[in-house]
Chain A
Amino acid sequence: MQQMMLLVEPLIPALRRYAAALTRDRSDADDLVQDTLELVIARWHQRRDDGSVRSWLFAILHNLAMSRLRQSHRRGGAHLPLDDVDEASLAVPPHQEAGPQRHDLLRALDALPEEQRSVLLLVTVEGLSYAETAEVLGVPNGTVMSRLSRARDRMIQLMDGEAATRRPVLRRLK
C-alpha cells in the first residue's frame, strides 16, 4: 500500500484534469476522481503487475465517467449546452482569460462525439501514448489513430464554424 501511495498519488492531479475535461463540471469531476480512488484502493491487489498503473487508473475513471454519463442521459439530464452552464462549474477557471477562442475551443470539444473526445484528451492533454490510450479505452491501436484523426479535423471544422458565427457578436458586445 506504500507502493500504492507512491504510484497513485502523483497521478491524482492528472486524473482531476481528465475528469474535469470529460464532465465539464468541477464538482462532478472531483466526485468522479474520489470514486475512482476508492475503487483503486479496493482493487489495488487485483491489478495486473505488468500493466501501466496510469492506464489502469485512467481506465477506471473513464469507465466510471461513461457509465455515469449513460445514466444521466437516461434520466434526461446531463450535457447542458455550454451557454446555459453556470460559469463557476465550467472546467476551465474563468480567470484563465476565457477569450472567444478558448470559448470556441471548449464548445467544439463538447460537440465532439464522446469516443473522439476521450481519445483527443487522453493523447493531447494527458500525454498518454497511443498504446496506453488503446488500453484505457479497450480498443485496438488502429481505432485510437482513426478516432484521433477524426477528432482533430472535426475540432477545426467546428471552431471555424463557431468563429464565423460568433465573433461579430462578441465584438458588438464591447
Chain B
Amino acid sequence: MNERLISENDLQAFVDDRLGPDSRAEVEAYLAEDAQAGTRVARLRALRDDLRGAFAPIAAEPVPPQLDLARLVAARRRPRVSAWQGLAAALLLTVGGLGGWIARAALPNGSGGISVLAQEAKTNYVVYAPDRSRPIELAATDRDEITRWFSARLKRPVAVPDLSAAGYHLLGGRLVATDHGPAGMLMYDDAQGTRVVMLIRSFGEGGDVPMVEHIYGSIAGCAWARKGLGYSLVAAADPEVLQPLVREIRRREAADAHG
C-alpha cells in the first residue's frame, strides 16, 4: 500500500523531524502498519528527547568568564603591553621628560584643559567600547546624520574623521555628556574588532594644543585641540593599536598645517 519503499534514512529523518509533510505522512502510514518498526521508531524518538534533556542544562548556564569572547580577543593582545611601555619611554624622551608631559596636560582654561578632555574620552571609552549590544546610537551608514547632529550640538562644523588609512573603520557615533558640554563620540574598529573611541567637543578658549599622549593603566590615548575643537582618541594601551592611528593623525595634522 505504500507508494514507495521507506528507507532507513527516511526513518532516521522521521525521528529527527526532518521530513517534509508528504514524506512524513508516508512514514507515519508505514509505521502504523508495521508494529515492530513503530515500536523501534518510538523508542528512537524517546532516546532523542532523553539525550537532549540530559545535556540541555549545560547550554542554559551562563558562559564562564574564561570563555568570554571579548576577553579572549583582548588577551591575545596582552603580551605586547611591554612593547607599549617601550613606546611610552620613547615618547617621554620626545616630549622632553615627564615634567613637560604633565605640565602641558594641566594647563587651566575654560575647556578644562587637554587632560580633562582626555579623561572624558577615557571615561566614555570604558563605558561604550566594551558594550556589545549598543556601543553607538547612529551607525556608520548615517555618517551624514552624525555630522549634522554633532555640528548642531557643538555649534560649529564637525567632520567625522576617516581613519581607514590606519585600518580603522567607523562603526558609528553618539552624543555624550561631559562637564564641558555635549561631546560627539565616534567609535571605530579594525579587522580584528579592536575598538577605538574618538571624542570631539568644544575646546572653548583653550586655543590649539599639539597632540599629547596619555596613559591610564591599560588604556592609552592622545588628545589635541585645533580651531576651537578638542579631540581625544582612546584605545587599549597597545602600541599596535595606537601607533598607526597616531601616525595617521600626525600625517593629517601636518597636511592641514601645510594646506
Residues of A within 8 A of B (CB): 1-2, 4-5, 8-9, 12-14, 16-17, 20-21, 30, 33-34, 37-38, 41-42, 45, 91-93, 96, 101-102, 105-106, 109, 120-121, 123-125, 129-130, 145, 148-149, 152, 155-156, 159
Chain B residues 1 to 54 lying within 8 A of chain A, measured CB to CB, are 8-9, 11-13, 15-16, 18, 40, 43-44, 47-48, 50-52, 54
The CA of A2 and the CA of B43, in the complex, are separated in Å by: 44
Q: Which of B18, B50, B57, B69 contacts A105 (CB 8 A)?
A: B50
Please give me the residue from chain A that is nearest to B46 by CB atom.
Answer: A156
Main secondary structure of the interface of B (DSSP, over half): helix
Q: Quick one: given A17-B55, A93-B57, A105-B54, are A5 and B69 in contact (CB under 8 Å)?
A: yes
Beyond the given A102-B50, A149-B12, could you list 12 further A-B residue pairs with CB under 8 A, ordered by the A residue number? A13-B60, A16-B59, A17-B59, A20-B55, A21-B55, A91-B58, A92-B57, A105-B47, A124-B51, A145-B9, A149-B11, A159-B47
Q: Which of A2, A20, A121 contacts B193 (CB 8 A)?
A: A2
Q: Quick one: given A1-B190, A38-B76, are A16 and B61 in contact (CB under 8 Å)?
A: yes
Q: Cβ of A145 and Cβ of B63 under 8 Å apart?
A: no
5 contacts between A and B (CB under 8 A): A1-B193, A123-B16, A129-B18, A145-B12, A149-B11
Bin the interface of chain B by size.
35 or more
Q: Cβ of A37 and Cβ of B67 under 8 Å apart?
A: yes
CB A151 to nearest CB in B, in angstroms, measures: 10
| B 56-85 binary contact with A (CB < 8 Å = 1; else 0) | 111111011011011011001000000000
CB A56 to nearest CB in B, in angstroms, measures: 15
Q: Cβ of A5 and Cβ of B57 under 8 Å apart?
A: no
Please give me the residue from chain B that is nearest to A29 by CB atom.
Answer: B58
Q: Cβ of B50 and Cβ of A101 under 8 Å apart?
A: yes
Which 7 A-B pairs give the minimum distances between C-beta atoms?
A1-B193, A13-B59, A17-B58, A17-B59, A124-B48, A1-B192, A145-B9
Q: Quick one: given A149-B8, A155-B47, are A41 and B76 in contact (CB under 8 Å)?
A: yes
The CA of A14 and the CA of B67, in the complex, are separated in Å by: 12
* B155, CB-defined interface residue at 8 Å: no
- Give chain B residues whose Cβ lies under 8 Å from the Cβ of A156: 40, 43-44, 47
* B194, CB-defined interface residue at 8 Å: yes
| B 128-168 binary contact with A (CB < 8 Å = 1; else 0) | 00001000000000000000000000000000000000000
- Give chain A residues whose Cβ lies under 8 Å from the Cβ of B248: none
The CA of A20 and the CA of B64, in the complex, are separated in Å by: 14
CB A81 to nearest CB in B, in angstroms, measures: 18
Q: Which of B18, B192, B193 contacts A130 (CB 8 A)?
A: B18
The CA of A145 and the CA of B11, in the complex, are separated in Å by: 10
CB B192 to nearest CB in A, in angstroms, measures: 5
Q: Cβ of B189 and Cβ of A1 under 8 Å apart?
A: yes
* B183, CB-defined interface residue at 8 Å: no
- Give chain B residues whose Cβ lies under 8 Å from the Cβ of A106: 54
- Give chain A residues whose Cβ lies under 8 Å from the Cβ of B59: 13-14, 16-17
Q: Cβ of B55 and Cβ of A125 under 8 Å apart?
A: yes
- Give chain A residues whose Cβ lies under 8 Å from the Cβ of B66: 30, 34
Please give me the residue from chain B that is nearest to A106 by CB atom.
Answer: B54
CB B72 to nearest CB in A, in angstroms, measures: 5
Q: Which of B11, B47, B60, B132 contacts A9 (CB 8 A)?
A: B132
Please give me the residue from chain B that is nearest to A96 by CB atom.
Answer: B57
Most chain A CB inside 10 Å of its own CB: which residue of B11, B40, B55, B61: B55
